[in-house]
Structure 1
Amino acid sequence: MNSKDNLLQIYASSFRQNWDLPALTEFGSGQTMTYADMSRRIAAIHMLFKECGVKRGDKIALMGRNSFSWVVVYMATLTYGAVVVPVLHDFNVQDAQHIINHSDSVILFINESIFDNMEFDKIPQVKAVMSLDRREVLAEHPVTNRAVEKFLARLPEKMRRKYPHGFTTADIDYPDIDESELAEINYTSGTTGFSKGVMLTLGNLGGNVRFGVRSRLHFRGSRALSFLPLAHAYGCAFDMLVPLAVGTHVTILGKLPTPKLLLKAFAEVRPSLVICVPLILEKIYRNKLRPVIEKPAVRNALKLPGLKTLVFRKIRNQLVEAFGGEFAEVIVGGAPLNREVEEFLHRIKFPFTVGYGMTECGPLISYTPWRQFIPSSSGRTLPSMECRIADSADPERIPGEICVRGENVMRGYFKNPEATEAVIDAEGWLHTGDMGTLSDDRTIFIRGRYKTMILGANGQNIYPEEIEAKLNNMPYVCESLVVERGKHLIALVYPDYEAMDRDKIQNEKLPGLMEQVRSDLNRLVAPYERIDRIQLIANEFEKTPKRSIKRYLYNA
């Protein structure tokens, strides 16, 4: 690899070349940061790291909503040679503390409103807790004698002393680190018993970035609207890492992306590329488009070829305008797209494509530009990746497990060699846990989920076993199974009749008790893991000889 293709040198070069261009804008605040501003703030954080004794390879935890500070801390950690540990801002406190401890993080950057609910003594390896909201130390170990706080107060003065003529492009100097080195640990879940830290190297992130640059997904002066969580691999790679590598102007939404707010932001930003999850397109289709095409007059018009073309063109133009009107394509990922929605969008020639990936590949596995996209596919395997279908006599027609290897595949799970060996075989193939077929031209068609993981509507990974582990500890729950029904999470519960008999509780009291259980459970899990309904079942779940529940019997 040419040294200028090394990820850190890509950023050094981009920041120099795009020095005067806008890098980040916080939507609604009117605040914009140029690449020069961002580079200066990165340099200041590098000084802070040095003062705190942060070494190359040390872990830096980052927990908060998308913001200027979030992006700057992530990029500063990466370009210092430390390892960034993003933690989703809506993980509950216990799970977040577990991740911070498990990852061996030595510094934590966090929104103050989140830290208010944490206990500093529960994260003993963390030397200092820094606010993402302002230049402030929220907590540090007594043994440091407030050294970090004192240094932070003197930081502007120290920057002036180090760069007496101001911070310039010549001062951007990022270490030459081999891309096999660890860059990020991204936890696939926040639950203590099951959380796995995906170890992504500079090469894994670099593979995604270089592909995005070569494909011109973003380019110098292009515009991006970042509304997916940057703590997720998908949003991180294509709303931040690729854009900042080429000189894109990224507008950060920073608030809950409600349909009303998104439409306003699309109209103002007019992004050059839209990265989204299926939920957005599905909501637009169900709430806006389907009611129109089901009107009798429109239905009749669609029966006439000439009028049909006009109607479809009008719908397409309105939809394009809703997304800002100036984008090359909409890339859908993070969860499967509803087939009915996909077919309609293809019929009206809306410029969208569906990609496939997972955190373990940081995230991209396959993608095709919209003009070459084949409906019901998940795009073509990246040039830097190989794909094969395991245990299938005819991989083009008979589904098997999708296995991939190549530049983007993670190093493994942090401190979890057993879990690593379970998914990466001796030949380096990552077993994705998804079932599918593979065409001659390396296009992937996903046919179903091999694993039990549920993909939430906004692209979050939901692990039923984690929710069940908590649910099974609740009063009068003997065993449970969490399933997806439509867009809802339903908990099937077999009650603990022995406990009910012991406590002299009548059956008619069960629905009320279960509603209380649901309420208590939903306070323990992340917002996207909340259960919509508990459904009681009369008999024990059917099980295998190993006493595992036969899940497939209950997923319909």
Structure 2
Amino acid sequence: MPLISLADRTVDESILDQRAPSVGALFRQRVEATPDTPAYLYFTGDSTELTTLTWRETDAIVTEWAAGLIALGVQLEDRVAIASTTRVEWILADLAIICAGGATTTVYPTTIAEDVAYILTDSGSSIVFAENAEQVAKLQAVRSEIPGVQHVINLTGEGSEDGWVITTDELAAKGREWLSATPDLVTSRVDQLGPESLAVVIYTSGTTGRPKGVRLVQDSVVYEGAVIEAMGTLGKDDLQFLWLPLSHVFGKMLVATGLQIGFPTAVDGRVEKIVDHMAVIKPTFMAGPPRIFEKARGRVALMFAQEKGLKKKLIDWALSVGGEMRDVLARGEQPSAVLARKHGIADKLVLQKVQERFGGRVRFMISGSAPLNADVARWFGSVGLLVQEGYGLTETSSGTTVNTPEHGSYQYGSVGWPMPGTEVRIAEEDGEILVRGPGVMRGYHNNPEATAEVLDEDGWFHTGDIGRIDERGYLFVTDRKKDLFKTSGGKYIAPAEIEARFKGMCPFVSQFLVHGAGHNYATALVTLDPDAITMWAATEGLAGKSYSEIVSSPQARALVQGYVDQLNASLNRWETIKKFTILEKDLTIEEGDLTPSMKLRRRAVTEKHLSEIEAMYAEGS
């Protein structure tokens, strides 16, 4: 089995060797090291100005909340849930849970009441932090089904008359009372935590079936932050913009990285305000799923395409020069004097204007949770914005492999090399990616059978993903093992690879879902991005039409057909898309089509649109 080598990567191994024994200890070390530097920045209400919490101020809140949790009965490794969107209070609650000795159970705020009851019961959570009245009402509706939940803490609203729901002010007051009697109450709890103490139970978003609770220990979380510092990718002068769901493992590990390195994090989960907020925050790095980068690229590319004459020629020239510079740097080479001069002009006249849409200070962005098409990544590279693609799962504490921004260590289309201390290999029998290292989960909560299916006796986690390793040691993920399907002609098709390729070609697409199992040809369900297609419609005599009218028009059909033809020219004959259907509505998280991290729920979408799929295979269709 091929094993990825780390021989060419410079790593400060002392950081990994001396990492903190727990997240609580890591937080305490950060507060002691840089008490008066910014920790978290956030918007209050509809304000466009940022409020700042220093590490000292964060510690004061966290200590009182942690003591309050202890007063409510939280013991070592007891589970305390958080049901909230991404906001600074989520982080404060999570740190308080850890410092009380507990373990966080994550609950997506979009989760339906029935599944919330299941997660709280399965995890054994005794307390829930709820974001607002909406989340409290959801818990009230299933109260009889969650008898183990003793208290709900409303992060932004009021308590209840019976005391089941309390406010954060009441929690802090309980904490101050207990701290006055036992000043070292929280410190002693943190001291009792060790590397193998449970830190978090993260329930997989469940693209199929009931979610499983992934048990990650303190060392798994600490390792993720320590390994980023050891690699030298980020420093204390960086500024993170964190909008990802904190119930997702990726977001949680980015918080741990901030604790380790000490850079400030601007926190706001309102996806519709990402672009506006980047101009205010001016981050140096940001992470997101591929859809965010596809959408941003599509919007800017469409604006460029609408320019005419000399301005259009200038844009095309600048992007071409940017592409040359991107490729030179990716090879680890220095640009020639001529290229450097041309790039300076291109950057000043065109490329910087794109960079300014992202705040103007971005060093790199990180893409994860699903495959990012290499052409999308290359486009960002050509405008001077490196999208650093990585790979990982909830079961591996997110970061497993990553491309790094250093010259000569980036391979477009790959997900990079493994994190130092983590091993990755490819199973010879079926090409499955296997992972072993500190980030690998200790098992699924209350589910030893499922654990045994994916964790072997040698500690290798079987990811369920298919991949390959090239001659330089870069990992490429080609598809999910369970998503591969065979046509009636006996040929295997990897749908995710085709879907990502189409998204890289078509700036108007939102989702592209390939089918064909058991049939003699492949088909696709297509949705178009509302913003991009509305802008396009204005140039096609369709201004003022509704989304459904635009996407069902002959013009839109011809537009998509052109890109499908382009896609088919790059595929093997048996992979080509013979028919497609444009859906009248885009896929959404709210309707259960996508996970909260914007990953496609393939089975759910297939079942919902089975009639459209069957129609593409009907005789004579």
Query: TM-score scaled by structure 2?
Result: 0.67
Counterpart of 1:368 in structure 2 is 403
CA distance in 1, matches of 2:166, 2:279: 47
- Displacement of 1:271 after TM fit? 1.0
- SS class of match (1:354): strand
1:116 maps to a residue whose letter is A
Structure 1 vs Structure 2 CA RMSD: 4.1
Cα 1:339–1:80 change in 2 (3 A) is: same
1:158 aligns with 2:158: no
SS in 2 for 1:327: coil
Preserved CA contact (<8 Å) 2:121 2:148: yes
Counterpart CA distance in 1 for 2:175 and 2:419 is 45
Match of 1:534 in 2: 609
What residue number does 1:380 align with? 417
- Relative to 1, partners in 2 of residues 1:347 and 1:226: Cα closer, same or farther, differing over 3 Å? closer
Q: CA deviation at 1:119?
A: 2.6
1:328 alignment partner in structure 2 = 363
Query: What residue is the counterpart of 2:547 in the other structure?
Result: none
Measure the CA separation in 2 of the matches of 1:147 and 1:121: 18
Q: Shift in Å at residue 127 of structure 1?
A: 1.0
Give yes or no for contact 1:92–1:526 (8 Å, CA) kept in 2: no
CA distance in 2, matches of 1:34, 1:85: 26
Partner of residue 289, structure 2 = 277
1: CA distance, partners of 2:280 / 2:428: 50
Contact 1:8 1:176 in 2 (8 A): no
Amino acid at match of 1:534: H
After superposition, what is the alpha-carbon deviation per residue over 1:173-217, rounded to whole angstroms, capped at 9, x for unaligned? 722422122111100036995211111111111221111222344
Answer whether contact 1:129 1:139 (CA < 8 A) is retained: no
Q: 1:41 to 1:10 in 2, by over 3 A?
A: same
Aligned partner of 2:76 in structure 1 is 56
Residue type of the alignment partner of 1:253: D
Contact 2:240/2:286 (8 A) holds in 1: yes
Task: Report the Cα distance in structure 1 between the residues aligned to 2:360 and 2:146, rounded to whole angstroms.
Answer: 47
CA distance in 2, matches of 1:365, 1:55: 31
Name which of 228, 231, 238 aligns with 1:215. 231
Amino acid at match of 1:34: T
Matches within 5 A, 1:137-216: 152=171, 154-155=173-174, 158=177, 161-162=180-181, 174-189=190-205, 194-216=210-232
Out of 467, 470, 474, the position equivalent to 1:439 is: 470
Of stretches 307-316 and 416-425 in structure 1, the one that deviates more from structure 2 is: 307-316
Residues 20, 36 of structure 1: 8 Å contact kept: yes
Local SS of the residue matching 1:337? coil
Contact preservation (8 Å) 2:70, 2:100: no
**For residue 248 of structure 2, what is the amino acid of its counterpart?**
H
Give the CA deviation at 1:136: 3.9
Superposed CA offset, 1:266-322 (max 9, x none): 111111212122222211221212441575646756887998456863543222222
Distance 2:167 2:249 in 1: 31
Match of 2:266 in 1: 251
Query: Alignment partner of 2:482: what SS?
Result: coil
Task: Supply the distance in 2 between the matched residues of 1:271 and 1:215 (Cα, whole angstroms).
Answer: 20
Give percent identity, aligned residues only. 23
- For 1:78-116, what per-residue CA distance to the aligned partner results, in whole angstroms no more than 9, with x for missing partners? 222211101111111111111011100011111221121
1:536 match: secondary structure = helix
Equivalent in the alignment of 2:37: 21
Matched residues in 1 for 2:392 and 2:19: separation?
27
Confirm whether residue 129 of structure 1 aligns to residue 144 of structure 2: no
> Secondary structure in 2 aligned to 1:231?
coil
Q: 1:137 to 1:40 in 2, by over 3 A?
A: farther
Pair 1:441–1:138, CA change in 2 (3 A): farther
Task: Report SS of the residue matched to 1:161.
Answer: helix
Q: Does 1:417 align with 2:442?
A: no
How far is 1:432 from its partner?
0.9
Q: Deviation at 1:340? A: 2.7
Residue 248 of structure 1 and its aligned partner are, at CA, apart by 2.0
| Alignment-mate amino acid for residue 301 of structure 2 | L
How far apart, CA to CA, are the structure 1 residues paired with 2:294 and 2:168? 48
Equivalent residue of 1:421, what SS? helix
Unaligned ranges ≥5, structure 1: 393-398, 465-482, 490-514, 543-556
SS at match of 2:153: strand
Unaligned residue ranges in structure 2 (runs of 5+)? 1-16, 322-341, 485-494, 501-510, 514-522, 530-583
Within 2, Cα distance between the matches of 1:147 and 1:267? 37
| Preserved CA contact (<8 Å) 1:365 1:382 | yes
- Is the contact between residue 24 and residue 32 of structure 1 (CA under 8 Å) also seen in structure 2? yes
Structure 1 pair 7/523, CA: closer, same or farther in 2 (3 Å)?
A: closer
User: Is 1:42–2:62 an aligned residue pair?
Assistant: yes
Matched, 1:98 2:118: yes
| 8 Å CA contact retained: 2:363, 2:386 | yes
In the aligned structure 1, how far is the partner of 2:188 from the partner of 2:36?
Answer: 14
